[in-house]
Amino acid sequence: MPVHAERIARDIQAIAACTPNPGQGSDRPTFSPHWRKARDYVIAEAAKVGCYHRVDAAGNVHIRQKSVDWSTPCWLAGSHLDSVPGGGDYDGVLGVVAALEVLRTAAEEGKNSLPFEAIIFAEEEGTTFGLGMLGSRGWAGTLDAKALRALKNSQGEDYWQAGKPHDTDPAKLEASRLKPSDWLGFLELHIEQGVGMWKRGEKVALVTGINGRRQYAVTFGGVANHAGSTGMGDRHDALAGAAEVVAGLESLAPALGARVVATVGRITVEPNAVNVIPSSASLTVDVRAPEDGLLTEADARVRKLVKDAAAKRGLSAEIKQTEALPAVALSAKLADQIRSAAARLTLPPLPETTSGALHDAAILAPLIPTIMLFVASKDGISHNPGEFSRTEDMATATRLLYEAISRS
């Protein structure tokens, strides 16, 4: 089978160069010049093997062989090219490159009418507009044009303003929405972004579910006062309340289960002066779990933790849920299809896992049959320039993808 590991490695390197400082991590905010350069590279490579493309209203790129009409029901595979600031070279990129390699392989094998489409989703990471998976959500219909217009990047542009040079179109969003009957299924390849597979010596794993997520914005209000003349018992320190929540989450999550995680990723403090007791502290809370029941229990415990921290110090407290995504079970039928493909390729039985990270697959799974494959990440490092996955493992996952869809 002509899936070429060296081509996959070349593509990874070419896309990694689409960043302001190659070799120092990937910086590709959605709709930036470097993001566009990476997107155009994939389009050009696909064109070399007789493919054409279109961009849907939400900014996602769709690529097919020219002999496959846009109305033909197809398998779908791909991921994203945008990155977090200072991110790695493999996150999202693997899924796009694997789909590109499927198109090349089909051309080399003379399968010029393969019912297959590669997709590049726009704004998966969430760092550009403050919310992730915008391209897939817009296409799937879970965000409308108004909701996307409310999201701004660091330049103050909303999603439509920033995306206009890249063919987004709010007027056409409703008409271009995903229609489940048009798709045979979606397969997303991704690096694990965790240490589990690498520790266990696993190379490729079958992903059977994706953890759900609850996110919150929490604000504590206290009293600004002099740091030297205000006794410890007379303080209403908003940051101390926030610190108690941060520390409390470390024990809250493992008490609910080994797969439950909780993170405070951002804190802002006012007046943020070295000799003033903080009057306000705002923080984000991100909780993830493999079951909705665990998310519900975590919700109650997070709210109690915030309430107790405020009461202890005489603070006001506000907690606002900013996102609620359920845990997602992936397609059992497609899982069997992947297992059968692995057997035909004489691979050992695939280990199975769930994804702690969210992916575009979580958005599409409620609408069309969806499955994921993970490739091991060295030492679990991701969202970091040290991110690394073995080329041979990525090639194995790509062969599995091609075998599963070409023999279906």
Tell whether 139 and 186 lie within a shared domain.
yes
Name the CA radius of gyration of the chain, rounded. 23
Same domain for 167 and 65? yes
Residue type for position 146 = K
- Tell me the per-residue pLDDT of 309-347, one tens digit each, with 9 for 90 and over: 999 999 999 999 999 999 999 999 999 999 999 999 999
Tell me the two tokens of residue 370.
Answer: 């969806």
13 and 76 part of one domain: yes
Torsion angles phi and psi, residue 285, rounded to 5: -125, 130
**pLDDT (tens digit, 9 = 90+) per residue, 31-76?**
999 999 999 999 999 999 999 999 999 999 999 999 999 999 999 9
What whole-number percentage of the chain has pLDDT above 70? 100
Compute CA distances 225 → 84, 244, 276, 318, whole Å. Answer: 38, 20, 6, 21
What lies within 8 Å, CB to CB, of 210 at 6+ separation is: 327, 328, 330, 354, 355, 358, 359, 361, 362, 365, 372
Residues 317, 344 within the same domain: no
Which of 101-105, 394-398, 403-407 is predicted with the least confidence, judged by mean pLDDT? 403-407
Residue that finishes a domain, picked among 265, 300, 325: 325
Inter-helix orientation angle 238-256/292-313, to 10°? 150
Q: What span, in angstroms and rounded, lies between the C-alpha atoms of 87 and 136? A: 21
Structural domain including 392 reads 5-211+327-406
- Read off the CATH number of the domain in which 374 is found: 3.40.630.10
Q: Are the CB atoms for 403 and 1 separated by under 8 Å?
A: yes
* Residue that terminates a domain, selected from 280, 309, 325: 325
Rounded CA-CA distance 184/77 in Å is 11
pLDDT at position 408 over 80: no
Please check whether residues 227 and 144 belong to one and the same domain.
no
The H or E element containing residue 53 is: strand 51-55
- pTM of the predicted model as reported, rounded to 2 decimal places: 0.90
Closest CA to 129 of 160, 107, 100: 160
Tell me: cis bond preceding 165? Omega within 30 of 0 counts: no
**Domain shared by 80 and 28, yes or no:** yes
CATH of the domain at 275: 3.30.70.360
pLDDT in tens, 120-135: 999 999 999 989 999 9
127 and 80 in a single domain? The answer is yes
- Give the total number of structural domains in the chain: 2
CB-CB contact of 15 with 38 (8 Å)? yes
| CA dihedral of 341, 347, 349, 353, whole degrees rounded to 10 | -80
Element (H, E) at 42: helix 33-47
Q: Same structural domain for residues 242 and 376?
A: no
> Other C-beta atoms within 10 Å of 324: how many?
13
pLDDT of amino acid 391: 97
In contact, 353 and 205? CB cutoff 8 Å: yes
State which amino acid sits at residue 90: Y
The answer on 315 and 386 residing in a single domain is: no
> Do residues 338 and 258 share a domain?
no
Instruction: Give the tens place of pLDDT for each residue, 360-374.
Output: 999 999 999 999 999
Nearest to 207 by CA among 61, 344, 59, 359: 359
Please state, in angstroms and rounded to a whole number, the distance separating the CA atoms of residues 45 and 52: 10
DSSP states of 363-400: HHTTTS-EEEEEE--GGG--SSTT----HHHHHHHHHH
38 and 142 together in one domain: yes
- Strand boundaries in 19-159, DSSP class E: 51-55, 61-65, 74-80, 116-121
What are the start-end ranges of the H helices in 59-214?
Answer: 93-108, 134-140, 145-149, 159-163, 196-200
Percent of the chain with pLDDT over 90: 95
Residue 188 identity = E
Q: CA-based angle 95:70:135, to the nearest 5? A: 45
Model confidence pLDDT, tens digit, residues 187-226: 999 999 989 999 999 999 999 999 999 999 999 999 999 9
Average pLDDT, whole number, for the chain? 96
Say whether both 98 and 194 belong to one domain.
yes
| Tokens representing residue 355 in the block | 């994804």
Domain limit, last residue, from 325, 340, 357: 325
The predicted model gives 94-107 an average pLDDT of: 98
The torsion angles phi and psi of 216, rounded to 5 degrees, stand at -140, 150
d(CA 335, CA 341): 10
Does residue 163 contact residue 153 with C-beta atoms inside 8 Å? no
Classified as helix, coil or strand, 402 is: helix
